[in-house]
Amino acid sequence: MSSALDLFRLDGRVALVTGGDKGLGQGIAIALAQAGADVAVVSRSGNATATLESIAAAGRRGVALTADLSSIASIDRIVGETLVQLGRIDILVNNAGIIRRAPAVDYEWNDWRAVIDVNLDAVWALCQAVGRLMIAQGRGKIINIASLLAFQGGIRVPAYAAAKHAVAGVTKALANEWAHLGVNVNAIAPGYMVTDNTQALRDDPERSRQILERIPAGRWGVPGDLAGAAIFLASSASDYVHGHVLVVDGGWLAR
């Protein structure tokens, strides 16, 4: 007899996770494996040894794929490699992202372009490429990693804020088109998390104090805090959830 907890199992499913070698992507990739999925881990370096070891410890298959997501030409290749090595794609997690900080009046065009290329264009291209497969098989789960800056403007990060606002918009637009085809498109908006992208903020005593004082939970988030949200959105438990941006922020937006 099945139970409600069985809705969260991912046995027999295959996930493709970008930026899965460290930080939030690593935490999500491991969580999906622990819930039963095989996982293709995409990273710029291709060095996802620690992630693959944790996936294997969960009894699942993991493969490491190398890609520079600033190049759209890499999208079809990593999708194809996942199909060859793992046979299908049931779950896509668009996690990879970069950040460039500077005052808006001094923001370099190359920095703007680099952030948009990875944080938005690659997300769109992967959604489109994998979405075609999911529509053909009649089901699939796409999880885009947005940000609190899908709701706020931030400070000294105009390209990042623009990209994350757009990720939320693309998530809703695709959900409108694909929900009736069995494809769920949703997003997770992490709060202030302990990752490489926030290192500069955490190294600034004044800025770090200001951020921490506003978080009702009283701490910065860690990658494991996204595990439950990711499993929920990747599983059958979220079959009637479409176009939602799930905030995991320790209460930041409630302030």
Q: Return the ∠ at Cα 182 (arms to 181 and 184), rounded to 5°.
A: 115
Spatial separation of the C-alpha atoms in residues 64 and 129, rounded to whole Å: 19
Amino acid at the residue 77: R
Spatial separation of the C-alpha atoms in residues 155 and 195, rounded to whole Å: 18
- 110: buried, middle or exposed (CB in 10 Å: 19+, 13-18, 0-12)? exposed
* Of 130, 121, 126, 129, nearest in space to 166 by CA: 121
Is 240 catalytic? The answer is no
How far, in Å, are 6, 19, 46, 62, 141 from residue 16 at the CA level? 22, 10, 14, 10, 11
Write down the catalytic residue from 107, 160, 192, 240. Answer: 160
Catalytic residue set: 160
